Amino acid sequence: MASTGASPPLKSIFSNGLKSITSHALNTDLDAQKSQIRDVHSHIPIDTRVAVKQQHLDDDEILALAGYKHELKRHFGPFNMVGVAFSIMSVLPSIASVLGQCYSINGALWGWLIASCCIFCIGLCMSELASAIPTAGGLYYWTYHYSPDWLRVPLSFVVGNTNSIALTGALCSIDYGFAKEILSIVYIAKDGDFEITDPITYGVYVACIVSHVITACIASYGVAKLQSLSVVCNVALVIFFVIVLLVGTKHKNNAEWVFANTQNLTDWPTGWAWVYNGFMPAIWTIGAFDSCVHMSEEAHNATKNVPIGILGSISATGSLGFIILIVCSFCINPDLNSVISTGSGQPMAQLIYDALGKRWTIAFMVLIAICQWLMGASTITATSRQIWAFSRDNGLPFSSIVKVVNSKLKVPIRAIIFGGILAVLLGLLCLIGPTAANALFTLYICGNYFAWQTPIILRLYRTWDKNPETRFKPGTFYLGDIMSPIVNMFTVLFTNFTIIMAMFPTSRTVDKETMNYTIVITGGTWLLSAAYYFLYAHKTYHGPRNTLNSADPADSIDGEKADHIDQVLESSEDEKFRSA
């Protein structure tokens, strides 16, 4: 393709010329960049509420206040923002993936309801942070911004790495669930004359990852429409599922069995089994709302629409999930053990088979698998934005390659490919067996809950800061001076409880089959991230970079907008001087 006069020279695409793989991996070219590093004690505070309501800055100018040049195309409205998280959660396919745990104790639907309300509190806290500083890096940026000086760089590095790997773990668990669903369809279609092995499962899993990478690269320009399609498909599937299952099931359980009966199939005490198996399915399902944060640089009116996306997706998924579990409880075979231990490996498939027969089972599992595939396509999109944002700040190996945005499509194609490769490598756990593969589910939970709670704790620290210059400044979404600290403190307690609970084994008798390897994988992620930072990355990662003053002309903000921002900042300084 011939280059135009406005196009940068070819060597700029590869960060000032071709370098060795080692140079890219270790980011050794960073000394040449000399970009300004933002300081949490800057004399120019980020006050998004004032910027929006009084100074009338647009999205790109607000992003520039955070130090970033806008690089991605904004095409997400409020419905699209709800859609990106809701489509990743994909309530019916997600419940299908964790139904076995739901019915390890009957009555877990009440645990779903309680956990959904607790997760909504996390969404409230995250919405406050996203409204205050809407940026794709979100979690690690907020960690850096609100941390004490001595802690901000290493802690933001660990949070950024953890969030990147946890989101990749989410993609792994979704596509692993897709592989299990596809194979269950084959098993049922062949009347059980098919052996589901770990290598076959991994093969289907890798094929799914590859298809998602290709789709995300090709369809990135229309990614907002993909989210809308996924929302419509998922809602239609839920309605269809509820109607057909209620009408088609001849022998239903009574209301007392559904709402009041407790049948514990685990060896844990009933109380703990009820909490663990009631909370964890909701926690795993309603867990992708931070994707709205990672898409914030592609959203219109981000300070408003990101909170709408977070809270709307949590509410919709929690409500629909509760309805689905009630319907399943009325229609499930009361012999729960036969459903959980089905040879197809999919309790949802067995539930439908018992209620409606073979043909309906195959039809529903195909529809669920399609929505699960769309779920993975949305997930790799959000994951790639976090990977791109962290690479933009030189937080990952090969950052100089991964952070490059396709100049024509305005999408981070290299970050998409990087996320796919990482998912294929993490998915090798599938070859060990279901127990190790299940660690992908809880890696996603523990990693994300750690990354979510860290800026919430630090935001509380800044809320009570005696220095008004560094005190937390809310955005357009704010619960108020009384309710906000209360909700934030409750959220910190719940997230810590969840991290501990997610590391419990499924049985009190622990062996290689029942061991929960999450503590090994997640703990290893934290330890290796910290070790990598102190051994090498501290030389290259210094916190979020200011891309407004980058030496690369392609990384500079539009001159007219820069002048507007300068005028606003100067007027803010004059007002502060006069008030003093």
In one-letter notation, the amino acid at residue 88 is I
Express each pLDDT in 200-219 by its tens digit: 989 999 999 999 998 888 76
* The predicted structure's pLDDT at residue 55: 64
Domain residue ranges in the chain: 72-539
Express each pLDDT in 466-515 by its tens digit: 877 778 888 889 999 999 999 999 999 999 999 999 888 878 888 777 77
Express each pLDDT in 82-129 by its tens digit: 877 888 888 898 898 888 888 888 878 899 999 999 999 999 999 999
* The predicted structure's pLDDT at residue 479: 93
Percentage with pLDDT > 70 across the chain? 83
- Range in 238-252, 274-288, 520-534 the model is least confident about: 520-534
Domain 72-539: give its CATH architecture: Up-down Bundle (1.20)
Sign of the Cα pseudo-torsion (233, 235, 239, 245, in order):
positive
Asked if residue 394 lies in contact with residue 541, where contact means CB atoms within 8 angstroms, the answer is yes
The structure tokens 């996924």 sit at 230
Mind spelling out the 3-state secondary structure of 508-535?
CCCCCCCCCCHHHHHHHHHHHHHHHHHH
In 249-346, which residue ranges form alpha helices assigned H by DSSP?
255-259, 270-285, 291-294, 302-331, 336-340
Express each pLDDT in 131-151 by its tens digit: 988 887 788 888 988 888 888
* The predicted structure's pLDDT at residue 223: 61
Output DSSP code: residue 497. Answer: H
Asked if residue 481 lies in contact with residue 403, where contact means CB atoms within 8 angstroms, the answer is no
Q: How many CB atoms lie within 10 A of CB 255?
A: 12
| pLDDT greater than 60 at residue 376 | yes
Question: Residue 201 phi/psi, 5° resolution?
Answer: -60, -45
C-alpha distances out from residue 558 to 9, 138, 483, Å = 20, 23, 40
Question: 14 is written with which tokens?
Answer: 């590869």
Please measure the distance between the N-terminal and C-terminal CA atoms of the chain and give it in whole angstroms: 58
Q: Mean pLDDT over all residues of the chain? A: 80
* The predicted structure's pLDDT at residue 126: 95
3-state secondary structure of 22: helix
Asked if residue 24 lies in contact with residue 451, where contact means CB atoms within 8 angstroms, the answer is no
| pLDDT greater than 50 at residue 24 | no
* The predicted structure's pLDDT at residue 536: 83
Q: Which residues make Cβ contacts (< 8 Å) with residue 213, sequence separation at least 6?
A: 380, 416, 417, 419, 420
